[in-house]
Amino acid sequence: MEKERSSFSGKLGFVLAAAGSAVGLGNLWRFPYLAAKYGGGIFLLVYIVLALTFGFSLMITEIAIGRKTGLSAVGAFQKLNKKYTFIGYLGAIVPILILPYYSVIGGWVLKYLTAFSTGNAHYAAESDYFGYFTGNAGQSLVFFAIFIGITALVVLGGVQKGIEKVSKILMPVLVVLSIVIAVYSCIFSVQNNGFDGILYYIKPDFSKFTYMTVVSAMGQLFYSMSLAMGIMITYGSYMKKDVNLESSVHHIEIFDTGIAFLAGLMVIPAVVSFSGIEGVNKGPGLMFVTLPKVFYSMGPVLGSIVGVIFFVLVLLAALTSSISLMETVVSIIQDKFHLERTPSCLIVLGASILIGLPSALGFGVLSGVTPLGMDFLTFFDFLSNSIIMPIVAILTCIFVCYIIKPTAIVEEVELSGKFKLKKLFKFMIYIAPALLAVILVFAILEGIGIVKV
C-alpha cells in the first residue's frame, strides 16, 4: 500500500517552504558576485527578464509534474514515462555536486561570524583577511567540517522541522535587516564615490552585454530558484490540489529575486566605492571582502553587532538550504540502495567531505591546480550550473513538449484556477530547448577556453 503523502497546509505554507529552500547563499553570496562581474545593470536586467519568462515556465512545470504524480523527481519521470526516468537521475547529480562546495562557503560564513562575535571585526574588515584564511588549509577545513557537521547532525536527528520553523521566523528579520544594510551601504557609497556604484548596478550598460551575461544569468536562475535538479518536483508533490499553483510560483519568484536584488544593493555600490569599478571582478569572495568593511565603517561596536546579526541570519539561510540539499541526497541514496537513514546519511557526509576537499583547499595548497583555468570551487559551480543544469532543463522541456505534452501541465495548473500566463508558458516551453542549447554550447566553449569574453 502506498503511504499517504503529507502535504503543506495551504498556500502560505507551501510558498514559505519553497522560498525557504530557494533563499540561501545563492541570493546573498552568488548573485552579487556574478552581477558585479558580468556587467552590473545589464546582468540584473537579463536576470529579471529570464526569471519572468523562462524561470516562471520551468518552475511551474516542475511543481506541476510533482503535484500531478505525487512523487519526487525519479519516481515522477518514471510514472509519466519509464524511458525517461534518467532525467530524474541526472537532476539528482546536481545536489550531490552542490552540497560539498555549498558547505565550504557555509564555512566562510561561520568564520566571519566567529570573527565578528569575538571582537575581531577590525581584522575581518581588512582586505586580505579573506585570502588569508581561505589560503590556510587548516582553517578552511575546520570551518568547512563544522558547517557540514552541523548540517549532518540536523539531518541525522531528523529535527529539520524545528530548524525550518526558526528560519521562517528569522526570514522576515533577514528581509528587514537586508533593507537596512542596503540603504546604509548605498548612502555610504554615494558619500564616498557619488552615484557610480549604484548606477553600475541598476543602469543597464548595453556595451557590457556578452554571451557570458546570459550564460551566467541563466545558471544563477537555476541555482537560486533550485530548478533543474528535481527539488521543485519534490515540493510540488507535497502541494494540495486546491492551492493556486500559478500565483504560488509568482510569490516564490518575487521573494527570491527580491532578496537577491537587495544583496546586490548591499554589496555592489560599496565595492565600487572601496576599490573603484575594477573592484567588481573579485569573484567568489566579493561579499565576504566587502560587507565586513561596510559594517566596520559603522564604528567598532555597532559594526560588530550588525555583523553578528547579519552573519547569523546568513548562516541560518545557508543551513536551511544545506539541510534540504543533504536531505535530498540522503533520500536518493536510501531509495537507490535500500539503506536505512543513518548509514545513508553517514555515506553522504563522508562522500561530501571528500568531494568538498578540493574546493576547500583550492584557494591555498591546491591553488596551483586549476581545472579549466578555475579554482576547484568555481569549477564545481560551473559544472553543475552551466553544464548539467541546462542539460536537465533542456530534457525536461523536451519531455513536456513531445512526451506528456504541455496540456498535461496546463490541466494540472488549471485544477486550482485559471492559468493566466498560459500563452507565455506554451511559447517558452517550446523555444527554451533551443535557447538553452545555445547557452550550453557557449558555456562549454568558454569552459574549455576556445572563446573568451
* Contact set with ligand TRP (CB under 6 A): 21-22, 24-27, 95, 98, 223-224, 226, 229, 231, 321, 324-325
Min dist CB 103 to ligand TRP, Å, is 12
Min dist CB 226 to ligand TRP, Å, is 4
Min dist CB 171 to ligand TRP, Å, is 13
Q: How many residues are listed for the chain in this entry?
A: 453
**DSSP 8-class letter at 72:** -
CA separation for the pair 205, 251 (Å, rounded): 29
Residue type, 452: K
End-to-end alpha carbon distance in the chain: 56
CA separation for the pair 9, 241 (Å, rounded): 11
Min dist CB 55 to ligand TRP, Å, is 12
Q: Considering only CA atoms, which of 359, 383, 310, 269 is closest in space to residue 28?
A: 310
Nearer to ligand TRP, 78 or 226 (CB): 226
Min dist CB 208 to ligand TRP, Å, is 24
Nearer to ligand TRP, 167 or 416 (CB): 167
Min dist CB 323 to ligand TRP, Å, is 8
Min dist CB 58 to ligand TRP, Å, is 14
Cell digits for 53?
A: 519568462
Find the residue with minimal CB distance to ligand TRP.
Answer: 26
Backbone φ and ψ for 319, nearest 5 degrees, come out as -65, -40
Min dist CB 326 to ligand TRP, Å, is 9
Segment holding 117, helix H or strand E: helix 85-117
Kindly give, in sequence order, each residue whose CB lies less than 8 Å from that of residue 90, ignoring residues fewer than 6 positions away: 388, 391, 392, 395
Min dist CB 120 to ligand TRP, Å, is 27
Cell digits for 435?
A: 535557447
Nearer to ligand TRP, 31 or 188 (CB): 31
**DSSP 8-class letter at 29:** I
Give strand ranges (E) for 353-409: none
Min dist CB 229 to ligand TRP, Å, is 6
3-state SS, residue 226: coil
Kindly give, in sequence order, each residue whose CB lies less than 8 Å from that of residue 106, ignoring residues fewer than 6 positions away: 25, 144, 147, 148, 151, 315, 318, 319, 322
Nearer to ligand TRP, 95 or 197 (CB): 95
CA separation for the pair 351, 348 (Å, rounded): 5
Nearer to ligand TRP, 32 or 197 (CB): 32
Cell digits for 259?
A: 532578496
Question: Which residue's C-alpha cell is 507565455?
Answer: 424
Nearer to ligand TRP, 101 or 419 (CB): 101
For 94-103, b/e burial (b = at least 16 CB within 10 A) is bbbbbbbbbb
Residue 259: alpha-carbon gap to chain centroid: 12
